[in-house]
Structure 1
Amino acid sequence: MSNIDELLKFVSHELSFDNTGHGVSHSKRVLKNALIISKDLNVNEELLTVSSIVHDYIDHKLFKNQDAQIEKLKHKLTSLNYDNSFINQVLNIILNISFSKGKIPSTLEGKIVQDADRLDSLGAIGVARTFQYGAINNRNMYDDSENCTIAHFYDKLFKLEKIMNTENAKALAKEKTEFMHKFVEKFMDEWV
């Protein structure tokens, strides 16, 4: 079994509890997005691939003890014969891509993983994940509060297109964001 297959199996097992849209299917889509974005760019593809697969493994929304998750991830990557330098590069990427932290990664690979993750919040998949996350967190689809699911489109999702790091991601985000604007417009037309 290749390291990549082993990591996908690891993430699938470790995130099997997730019902918020951050499981292994999300990791696979982030990887797919990252490979599309990085086409014709000079990147470390192994670093990009590994970081894409494990990017949510230490996410504070999924795990209360981030330090314990970091240690488990280090152990797993070491068992796959990745050296400390590579592991530290992966950690540098995945610790700095969160929207809520407001950081821009320092490496091209980090910027691509951040863009790839954000792209999975957009388009048809993004709409589905947004409503899934809202339902799991007992948010109303729509009401006058700032905590309803529709508000999340305005608070975060519609802003992502403008903060993509790479030109390839900006182009992909534009189309996906247009779809979401049409969806929200139609949703509001049909809302009672």
Structure 2
Amino acid sequence: MDGGIDLIRQHVQAFLQESGSHGFDHTARVTRLCRRIGLSEGADMAVIIPAALFHDIARPLEEETGIRHEEQGAEMAEAYLRSAGYPGDMIHSICHAIRSHRYSSGIAPATLEAEILSDADKLDAMGAVGIARTFMQAGEDGTGIPGAVAHFHEKLLKLKDRMYTDTAREIAEERHAFLVAFLEGLEGEEGGH
């Protein structure tokens, strides 16, 4: 199985060569979080790890195609996994986790593995890494510090209360506190204090 995971990692990396707020480094962190949460929560690691690796594979294509990356990514994962001989029920579970991972997808995770992927993806938007990614995204979008601060209020500060698993809730508490402290300092400096 580990050889299969290495092949998936290489396959996904070929699609996520550009650095940025959703580059392969994000995928690697989400995969590590999924492993940590999955082991703690008793998840099926043969489902959660491939789902984590594939979860943003179509992110670079979304702007070009207009197709939501979670939908196109699930289709790309399914095609790859079928060609690699994965069992159909496992493919279904992996693809469900990919389709339901996005904060704004409107699809509720229906399995533990899908909940964990959703939690891990949200956790990577919190804490020190989340702050760095927010400012990277604001730079990519050209919205600067005001855009980053707006993103904190519109999304990031709400994530702590949207975790599914106990393990993720524990991690989120610490990362949320870091976000709040950073934002208070930033807004204080922006206000001239």
Is 1:43–2:47 an aligned residue pair? no
1:40, distance to aligned residue in structure 2 (A): 3.5
Number of the residue aligned with 2:14:
13
Check conservation: 1:31, 1:52, Cα contact below 8 A.
yes
| Structure 2 unmatched ranges of 5 or more | none
**Correspondence 1:24-63 to 2 at 5 A:** 24-59=24-59, 61=62
SS at match of 2:41: coil
Which has a greater percent of helix?
2
Number of the residue aligned with 1:183:
182
Check conservation: 1:122, 1:180, Cα contact below 8 A.
yes
1:80, distance to aligned residue in structure 2 (A): 2.3
Number of the residue aligned with 1:117:
121
SS at match of 1:174: helix
**Correspondence 1:97-108 to 2 at 5 A:** 97-108=101-112
Range 71-80 or range 82-91, more displaced: 71-80
SS at match of 1:118: helix
Figure out how many residues of one structure are paired with residues of the other and give that number.
Answer: 186
Is 1:130–2:131 an aligned residue pair? no
Check conservation: 1:51, 1:113, Cα contact below 8 A.
yes
For 2:64 and 2:90, locate their aligned partners in 1 and report how far apart those are by CA, in whole Å.
23
Number of the residue aligned with 1:145:
none
For 2:40 and 2:74, locate their aligned partners in 1 and report how far apart those are by CA, in whole Å.
32
1:155, distance to aligned residue in structure 2 (A): 0.6
SS at match of 2:43: coil
Range 67-76 or range 112-121, more displaced: 67-76
TM-score normalised by the chain length of structure 2: 0.87
Q: Root-mean-square deviation (CA), in Å?
A: 2.0
**Correspondence 1:60-75 to 2 at 5 A:** 61=62, 64=65, 65=67, 69-75=73-79
Is 1:87–2:87 an aligned residue pair? no
Alpha-carbon spacing, 1:172–1:106, altered in 2? closer, same or farther (3 Å): same
Check conservation: 1:8, 1:24, Cα contact below 8 A.
no
Structure with more contact order per residue of length (Cα contacts < 8 Å, sep ≥ 6): 1
Question: Share of identical aligned residues, percent?
Answer: 28
SS at match of 2:30: helix
Letter matched to residue 107 of structure 2: K
For 2:87 and 2:99, locate their aligned partners in 1 and report how far apart those are by CA, in whole Å.
18
For 1:152 and 1:68, locate their aligned partners in 2 and report how far apart those are by CA, in whole Å.
25
Letter matched to residue 185 of structure 1: E
1:69, distance to aligned residue in structure 2 (A): 4.9
Check conservation: 1:30, 1:120, Cα contact below 8 A.
yes
For 1:62 and 1:110, locate their aligned partners in 2 and report how far apart those are by CA, in whole Å.
24
TM-score normalised by the chain length of structure 1: 0.88
Check conservation: 1:15, 1:57, Cα contact below 8 A.
yes
1:131, distance to aligned residue in structure 2 (A): 0.5
Number of the residue aligned with 1:167:
166
1:70, distance to aligned residue in structure 2 (A): 4.4
Letter matched to residue 110 of structure 1: A
